[in-house]
């Protein structure tokens, strides 16, 4: 009786054959699952990566489009290789008090009579002081540049980039703002060769130059701002004035990039062409190409 009880209570384990069979069956099931799951998972990963590329390209294009539409008239310029685009970014504009307005209304911005050297270099804004986009605060501030009737390269000295004693200048820095009176750091408007006055007595306020730079070696698109306006377009990154600290990375994996700019039949309009490709050739995501055109307003 004791022997029968012990036989029933004796534990049993897996045999080696049983373990091998279980391993083989598990492997077959795992291989079948991998075959059926891998394709949709890889497809999801590729779709997500391509969507990220499209979003990056769209964000960069939107930023560039916004800047071009806010560019100072006739200030867009593109490098010969099409990898650099520069413009002068405006904040607002207004009308200045001129020699043709009635006397006694304030300080005029004259293109004929030099200002009294004993008085501050200033002019009076006609009407309400320009406000920012939300109308919450004054749009003109110290450090901005006042530009009048910018005609670009063909209109020197009415070229905001080329300011010198030899070429003349239509741009002056703002050093103070009080009410509707704007104080300037210099007064080039009556210095020979003097620039042309605005037919409508209008001025624009430039906040900073902006450069979009494509580096095909590193595959990046970078936006630079906050540097000093240069007579010659800067086309070298990570050097003055396009220093790394003044740049903001907009896109990686840039495989092709080209900017172009042309004046339309109507000289009051310019057309900026953006051709941008992102991705990796011979990869699952492929290369995404974005082509966009933006009109620049060239009426000063």
Domain annotation covers residue 71: yes
24 in any annotated domain: no
Is residue 25, in this structure, part of any structural domain at all?
no
Q: Give φ, ψ of 270 to 5 degrees.
A: -125, 155
Quick one: which H or E segment has residue 225?
strand 220-225
Quick check: is 118 in a domain? yes
pLDDT of residue 184: 97
Tell me which residue range forms the domain holding 244: 53-297
d(CA 60, CA 47): 20
Task: Specify the pTM.
Answer: 0.84
Report residue 234 as tokens. Answer: 């800067």
Which pLDDT score is estimated for 15?
80
**Domains identified in the chain, total number:** 1
pLDDT number for residue 264: 66
Distant-in-sequence, close-in-space partners of 12: CB < 8 Å, separation ≥ 6: none
Q: Does residue 15 belong to any structural domain of this protein? A: no
pLDDT (tens digit per residue) in 115-170? 998 989 999 999 988 876 555 567 899 999 999 999 987 678 899 999 888 889 99
For 109, counting Cβ atoms within 10 Å of its Cβ (0-12 exposed, 13-18 middle, 19+ buried), the class is buried
CA-CA-CA-CA torsion sign (249, 250, 256, 262): negative
Residue 250 domain-assigned (yes or no): yes
Query: Does residue 4 sit within a domain?
Result: no
Alpha helices in the chain, H assignment, sequence order: 2-9, 16-69
Per run of 10 residues, the mean pLDDT along the chain (length 300 residues) is 54 72 82 72 73 89 94 95 97 93 93 91 92 68 96 85 90 95 96 93 96 96 97 95 96 94 71 91 80 89
44 falls within a domain? no
């Amino acid at each position: 009786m004791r022997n029968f009880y012990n036989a029933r209570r004796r534990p049993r384990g897996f045999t080696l054959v049983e373990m091998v069979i279980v391993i083989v069956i598990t492997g077959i099931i795992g291989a079948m699952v991998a075959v059926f799951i891998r394709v949709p998972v890889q497809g999801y990963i590729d779709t997500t990566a391509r969507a990220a590329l499209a979003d990056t390209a769209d964000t960069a294009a939107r930023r560039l489009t916004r800047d071009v539409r806010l560019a100072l008239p006739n200030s867009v310029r593109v490098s010969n290789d099409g990898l650099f685009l520069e413009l002068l970014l405006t904040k607002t504009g207004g009308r200045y008090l001129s020699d043709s307005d009635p006397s006694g209304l304030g300080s005029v911005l004259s293109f004929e009579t030099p200002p009294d050297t004993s008085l501050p270099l200033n002019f009076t804004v006609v009407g309400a002081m320009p406000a920012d986009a939300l109308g919450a605060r004054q749009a003109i501030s110290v450090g901005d540049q006042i530009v009048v009737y910018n005609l670009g390269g063909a209109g020197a000295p009415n070229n905001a980039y080329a300011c010198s004693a030899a070429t003349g200048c239509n741009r002056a820095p703002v050093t103070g703002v009080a009410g509707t009176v704007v104080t300037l750091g210099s007064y080039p408007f009556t210095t020979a060769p003097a620039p042309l006055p605005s037919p409508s007595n209008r001025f624009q306020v430039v906040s900073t130059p902006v450069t979009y730079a494509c580096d095909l070696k590193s595959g990046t698109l970078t936006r630079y701002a906050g540097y000093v306006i240069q007579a010659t377009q800067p086309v070298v990154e990570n050097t003055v004035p396009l220093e790394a600290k003044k740049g903001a990375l907009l896109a990686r994996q840039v495989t092709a990039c080209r900017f172009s700019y042309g004046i339309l039949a109507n000289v009051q309009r310019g057309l900026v062409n953006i051709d941008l490709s992102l991705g990796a050739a011979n990869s699952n995501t492929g290369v995404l190409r974005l082509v966009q055109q933006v009109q620049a307003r060239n009426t000063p």
